[in-house]
Structure formats: structure tokens, C-alpha cells
Amino acid sequence: MKCSRQELPDMAAKLRAHVIRMIAEAGSGHPGGSLSATEIVTSLYFHVMNYDPKKPNMPDRDRFIMSKGHACPVLYAAMAEAGFFPTEDLLTLRKLGSPLQGHPDKVRLPGLEASTGSLGQGLSIGIGAAMAARLDGKDYKTYVLLGDGEIDEGQIWEAAMAAVHFKASNLIAFLDANQQQLDGWTKEIMNLEPLADKWVSFGWHVQDIDGHDFDQILKAIEQAEGEKTKPSMILCRTVKGKGVSFMEGEVGFHGKAPTDEEAKQALAEIEKR
Amino acid sequence: MDFKIGLATRDAYGKALAQLGASMEEIVVLDADLSKSTKTEVFGKEFPDRFFNVGIAEANMVGMAVGLASSGKIPFVSSFASFLMCKAFDQLRMGVAYSENNVKVVASHGGISLGQDGASQMAVEDLGLASLLPGFVVLCPADEPSTRDLVEVMACHQGPVYMRVGRPKMPIVHGGGSSRLRDGKDATIVACGWMVAPALEAADILAKEKGLDVRVLDAYCLKPLDRKAVQRAAEETGALVVAEEHLAGLGLGAHVARAVLETTPVPMEFVGLEDTYAESGDPDGLMEKYGLTAHDLMEKVLRVLQRKKTQAK
């Protein structure tokens, strides 16, 4: 399902509301990193990517890998709105028997590209998918969403080297730089700034943008898709918990569900925006 | 015993893989800067487009294999068993086992028979670690012909497979495809990999010197184990010794013990390293020091026969 540029903010609000309802119903989950990534995921699923929810394994599909697996609520919300499964199923998140596992499980949920939840693995998987496209002469793209806490993992930098070495220009990564990880501010836990310089020095095509601005996101994706030799990193400056005043920049909502009262307030804010 | 000496199992792997690559275009191969040692370089020279040397980065290698597998390729990943299983265990767990991806892991330099490089390079836990991954088939072939055949079997099997191969040249123990290499009624030695030839040797000496009739099974497939053959051995011979170039009882031993306990409990003994790492040395000297020779096997057979006799009373 595609949206026009003008419809994207409404879709993002819809996904945010799903995220709040799902996590409140489950009683646990990670709202902060879902809300910071909402515009990125909305852009991909409703304006950019080629896929068919009725044929989730279609060989020519664009690939999306949610490497920061704990942000799966926003991905599930997007998949439901896109038609992979009914939106009612979103409220089964984290419940016994549900395909919507606490972290993505591709065996249980068709349409997921990778099972993630142990951080640091998605970029490598993305390179593999990108190499398969090259071997098969296909022009699908592979998109990987990383967290800025996640890139503490050494495997990320193994993959950063390899993607450039193998000239994976059909690989586009997003870094959801919401500046917070479980234990606190990234600059205090493990400071990786200057972020853009690091990726540039590894040989990536890097763009540094506002990760909540649809115009900037879409333009950056277009630029990245035009890149013919290097993998692309779209460094998205975001706010953790974006869209819900009492969650924004509040590290406590990295991995905590809102109470019923908080959920009501959050939904009212999202509605009113 | 006079064995004909064949190729090292790693060489048999490299050759077989390159041959198979011609007929199976989906096969891609990844190595982490050890392709000269794991022998995947043979494939790499033949099919450079389908060969990825990722540098010294095992976790990324397995991750890339996962991405290739989920787009329909059949990736073989190779490195030393110790590095692949220890450094990339999480990637194998999440991306291959849990995700049910069709990735083939062939790890060289399993066990201690690599010799001089010492304990950091020696995998004495790999068979146990691979067995801990749900859905994985675990293979440990003893010689060139069985390795060659198993490469094709694993490529055609849909699902994850682990195979251990080794550095030294190996005696050829297989005439045909059967895993029962020697029949017997007094006791059974169940062995894999390096330990199969010493098992045959021990059985031979026990026959000549003590008049004992010892059966030898080559359990080249640890998981799923040939439970029927093990059960039959327990029923018909009443005593088992399990031998592996690995921590004793924690690789093949665990699989055989479970099969025996669940069907026909009989006295069992285990040959392997006893809760220790090995060290640098020549392979034969190491086998002697760490108790992995035909002589050690004979002693364990005699001990298990003693227990069998005591139980019968």
C-alpha cells in the first residue's frame, strides 16, 4: 500500500498509536525506539519499498531488516497497515501463540526478512542479501535499520568494512540516532561521535539528516539509491519517544510499557498533533 | 593395522566443494582469511564471483551467509572450528538455528590432532556446541571418502548442518557406506572422526591378544544419531565405549548415552579429553598424553567388560 507524500504524516500517527496500544496491552515492550524510528519505517513501507503482502517471499521484493529488533512494534504496525496481517492481530504482541514475538521471528511471521533481537547482526545479513541480488542480477534494494546504541557492537564495524569492500551500493542503512540506550545517554555510556566521520572514514556514502522530516528522509533515500559504488548510511537525528511528550528524551521509556492512564494521554497527544 | 592413507578431511572437503560448485549454482562460499587452511580456496579459484573472503571477521561472515541463504543461496561458511563456533555462536544461534536458514558450516582444525599450534586453535567443544543448536545436523567424518560423500549430502539437505573436518592426513576406513565397520558381540566402540581408526586398531588387537569380539561403529552423523544401530549394539553386545577427539562424553558421548539410556541401559565408558584443554605438540604425542590412543580404548573396553560381567552376576 502506497501513500502520497502528503499522507505520510497521518500514517506515521497511525503507526505511533498502534505502538502505544500494542505495548500497553502487552504490558511490556520498547516504546522509545519504536517512536524514534516511525518516520523512517513509514517512509519505507508506504512510499519507497516494493513488496507484495500476499507474496512475502517474492524474489524481487525490496528487503527491510530491523536490526534493532526491540523496535519491532513499529515494524509490526507498518506490516499490518500494509496488509501482511489484520491490524486486530497487533494486540496479540508478546502473547502465547502470537506470531508477533517480543523480538522479530521470521519463522513465525512471514514478511520478516530476519530474526533479530541480539544486537549488531542486521547489517551483515543485509550485505548477504545485497550480494545475492548482485549474483542473481536483480535490482532490489536492501534497507537496514540500526540503533545508535546497537553500533557499540563490534560486528557492526566488521560489516561496515565488508560492505565497502564488496561495493554493496545496493545496501542502504539508516542509523536511528536517538542518542539514548538502555542505561542512559549514548554519549555517556559509549560515545561514538562524531558519527558521520566514522562512517565516512570507513568509505560509506553518508548523509546526516533530521530523521523525523519526511522531505529529508525521502530525498536522502533517492540520493542513496543513485549511489553506484558505495553502501549508503543515512544518519537520522531523532528523538527517543518522539510524539509523546512524557516519553520524549526520557530514557525510562526505552523498555517500559505505559500504564493505562499514560497510554490514554499518549493516544490523545498523537491524535491531536 | 595397515590402513591406506587418504587425504586430510579438510582437503577432501575443499575438493568435493569445488566439484559440487559446478553443478549446484546456488552454492556460495565464505571464509574468514583461512581459505588456504580450510581448503575453500579451491572453490574460490574456480568460482571467484561466488566466493567471499570476509577477512578476519567470523561474526560478519555468518551474518552475510544468513542474508545469502534467505535469498535462496546455499552458503558454506568455513574457518577453524574454535573460531567459528566460539566467535560466531550467537550469529549461528540467531541467524541460522532460530531462523531455520539453510547455512552449511564446515569447520576445520577440529580436535587436537592439528598438533603444534596449540590449545587456542584446538576445538574440543565444537561438537557439543553444534549439538546445542536446535535443528542442526552434526557430522564428524573419519576419512576422505566419507567426507566427500557428506559434502554432497549436506548440500542437498534443506537446513543447517555442521561438519567438523581436520588437518592431518587420515587413514581410509570406509569401504562402503555402512557405519558398522567391524562386527562383534562382546562390546561396541562407537567413535567419530579421528577416533575411528584407533577404534578399529583396538578391536583388532583385542581379538588377537584376548580373543575378544568387539564391534566398531563409525557415528559420523552425531545428530540425528543412528539410534537403531546404537540400540542394537547395546542389546547385542551389552557394553559400549564412546570415543571422540573432544571433551569426553559431551559431544558424541552425550548423544549415544541418551540413546542407550532411553532404550537398553548397559555399562558405558567414555574416551576423550577429561575437562581440560590440550597444548602444542606432535599429534601422536598429544593423543598419548590426553588418552586418545588405541591403547586407551583397549583399557576402556576391558573396564566396561569387567562392569558387564559384574552386573551379570
Task: Inspect the interface and report whether the beta carbons of B68 and A162 lie closer than 8 Å.
Answer: no
Mutation target among B50, B60, B66, B92 for the A interface, most CBs of A within 10 A: B60
Cell of A41: 519505517
pLDDT band at B116 (very low <50, low <70, confident <90, very high): confident
User: pLDDT at position B174, please?
Assistant: 72
Cell of A146: 540500526
Q: DSSP secondary structure string, A30-82?
A: -HHHHHHTHHHHHHIIIII----TT-TT-TTPPEEEESSGGGHHHHHHHHHHH
CB B240 within 8 A of CB B187: yes
* B50 contact residues in A (CB cutoff 8 A): 135
Percent of chain A exceeding pLDDT 90 equals 98
Cell of A119: 544486537
Q: Known catalytic residues of B?
A: 58
Locate cell 549461528: which residue?
A: B92
CB B100 within 8 A of CB A158: no
In terms of Cα–Cα distance, which of B295, B300, B292 is closest to B112? B292
CB A70 within 8 A of CB A146: no
Percent of chain B exceeding pLDDT 70 equals 99
- Does residue A105 belong to the interface with chain B, where contact is any CB pair within 8 Å? yes
pLDDT at B178 over 60: no
> Stretch A48-71: mean pLDDT, rounded?
98
Rg of chain A in Å (alpha carbons): 17
Compute the 3-state secondary structure of chain B and give helix, strand, coil in percent, each to the nearest 5: 45, 20, 30
> At A62, which CATH number?
3.40.50.970
Q: How many CA atoms lie within 13 A of B312 on its CB side?
A: 9
> Stretch B230-241: mean pLDDT, rounded?
97
User: pLDDT at position A112, please?
Assistant: 98
Cell of A60: 524481487
> Stretch B277-285: mean pLDDT, rounded?
93
Q: DSSP secondary structure string, B55-86?
A: -S-HHHHHHHHHHHHTTT-EEEEEEEHHHHHH
Q: What is the ipTM metric for this complex?
A: 0.88
- Does residue A58 belong to the interface with chain B, where contact is any CB pair within 8 Å? no
Cell of B259: 540413546
d(CA A263, CA A268): 9
Domain membership of residue A141 as a residue range: 5-272
- Does residue A117 belong to the interface with chain B, where contact is any CB pair within 8 Å? yes
- Does residue A128 belong to the interface with chain B, where contact is any CB pair within 8 Å? yes
Locate cell 568509505: which residue?
A: A203
Q: DSSP secondary structure string, A139-188?
A: ---EEEEEETTGGGSHHHHHHHHHHHHTT-TTEEEEEEE-SEETTEEHHH
Domain total in chain A: 1
- Does residue A135 belong to the interface with chain B, where contact is any CB pair within 8 Å? yes
- CA–CA–CA angle B285, B290, B293 (5° rounding): 70
Closest alpha carbon within chain A to B56: A158
- The pLDDT tens digits of the residues spanning B194-217 come to 999 999 999 999 999 999 999 999
CB A84 within 8 A of CB A51: no
Cβ-Cβ contacts under 8 Å for B244 (sequence gap 6 or more): B127, B140, B191, B192, B193, B195, B251, B252, B253, B271, B272
User: pLDDT at position B133, please?
Assistant: 97
d(CA A90, CA A73): 8
User: pLDDT at position A12, please?
Assistant: 98
User: pLDDT at position B175, please?
Assistant: 53
Mutation target among B30, B50, B64 for the A interface, most CBs of A within 10 A: B64
Average pLDDT for chain B: 95
> Stretch B44-56: mean pLDDT, rounded?
97
pLDDT band at B246 (very low <50, low <70, confident <90, very high): very high
> Stretch A225-236: mean pLDDT, rounded?
97
Mutation target among A66, A144, A152, A158 for the B interface, most CBs of B within 10 A: A158
CA A262 to chain centre: 24
Task: Inspect the interface and report whether the beta carbons of A132 and B72 lie closer than 8 Å.
Answer: yes
Locate cell 566460539: which residue?
A: B86
Task: Write down the pTM of the prediction.
Answer: 0.91
* B64 contact residues in A (CB cutoff 8 A): 124-125, 127-128, 131, 162
CB B247 within 8 A of CB B273: yes
Cell of A190: 559509549
pLDDT at A143 over 50: yes
B269 beta partners: B241
* B93 contact residues in A (CB cutoff 8 A): 118
- The pLDDT tens digits of the residues spanning B73-105 come to 999 999 999 999 999 999 999 999 999 999 999
Give the DSSP H or E segment for A205: strand A205-210
Q: How far A185 CA lies from chain B's nearest CA (Å)?
A: 26
CB A188 within 8 A of CB A215: no
From B61, B67, B95, residue closest to A132, measured CB to CB: B67
Cis peptide before A194 (omega within 30 of 0): yes
What distances in angstroms separate CA A33 from CA A41, A186, A210, B16, one per listed residue? 12, 13, 15, 47
Q: How many CB atoms lie within 10 A of CB A122?
A: 31
Cis peptide before A258 (omega within 30 of 0): no
Give the DSSP H or E segment for A206: strand A205-210
pLDDT band at A207 (very low <50, low <70, confident <90, very high): very high
- Does residue A133 belong to the interface with chain B, where contact is any CB pair within 8 Å? yes
Q: DSSP secondary structure string, B107-168?
A: EESBBSTT-TT-GGG-BSSHHHHHHTSTT-EEE---SHHHHHHHHHHHHHSSS-EEEE--SS
How many residues does this entry show for chain A? Answer: 273
* Torsions phi, psi for B191 (to 5 deg): -135, 165
pLDDT at B235 over 80: yes
The full set of domains in chain B, from first to last, is 5-170 (3.40.50.970), 180-308 (3.40.50.920)
CB A4 within 8 A of CB A226: no
Q: How far A126 CA lies from chain B's nearest CA (Å)?
A: 6
d(CA B87, CA A266): 43
pLDDT at B176 over 60: no
- Does residue A83 belong to the interface with chain B, where contact is any CB pair within 8 Å? no
Cβ-Cβ contacts under 8 Å for B132 (sequence gap 6 or more): none
User: pLDDT at position B177, please?
Assistant: 43
pLDDT at B123 over 70: yes
> Stretch A138-144: mean pLDDT, rounded?
98
